Amino acid sequence: MTKDEMLKLCVWKERAGWFGKFVCHSPLFEREVEIHLLVESDHKISDGTVLIVNDFLSLKTDDLAVIKRFLWEGCQECCKNSSYGFEVREGQNETEANHEGFGVFNEEDAYAKSHLMYLQICEEDQELKGNYGLIHFDNEWETHGAVIVMKNGSVVGYGEDGLYVGTYEDKDDTD
């Protein structure tokens, strides 16, 4: 996708800086996905942003496996560390009750019960060495939203909404 194509699709709003939004088809997710851009001025997109959008559109099946793994790891962490009020039956611990309550027992379940919301690109992050995109998911167990970190076209991590991508600057992309 070219910069001109993105600019033609983009709708702009001013929100403590400029916010642009457009929709494009993701081959990996087999659906239309919103792209959210946080930029310095309206109607301007950096070459880095174009690169990140195209990296996202080029994600492959192997990347989806990593996304599923990260969503599952996030689910396990939340179910282990949170109380959701599910009934804990005799012989069961609260973590098991949480997984049962959400119906999530593996990577496939975690992915199936998560909803892809949008890809976010913050041009301020382009001051870092890596090119970062944040793939936002919504699910029942992650109250602050699940975020999958894409760096230089590879899926490299996860966290909650508001995570600092600079954390991934010195990490090896092959982890």
DSSP category for residue 97? H
Residue 138 lies in a domain: yes
Residue keyed to tokens 């600079």: 166
CA 12 vs. chain centroid, Å, equals 22
CA gap 62, 88 in Å, rounded: 36
Backbone angles phi, psi at 173, to 5 degrees: -65, -10
CA gap 62, 121 in Å, rounded: 22
- Measured over the CA atoms of residue 147, residue 160, residue 70 and residue 128, the dihedral's sign is positive
Residue 28 lies in a domain: yes
Predicted confidence pLDDT, tens digits, the chain (175 residues): 999 999 999 999 877 667 899 999 999 999 999 999 998 877 789 999 999 999 999 999 999 999 999 999 999 999 999 999 999 999 999 999 999 999 999 999 999 999 999 999 998 888 888 899 999 999 999 988 999 999 999 999 999 888 888 888 876 554 4
pTM of the model: 0.92
AA identity, residue 49: T
Number of separate domains in the chain: 1
Residue 175 lies in a domain: no
CA gap 4, 25 in Å, rounded: 16
Residue 81 lies in a domain: yes
Residue 173 lies in a domain: no
Provide the domain limits for residue 77. 3-168
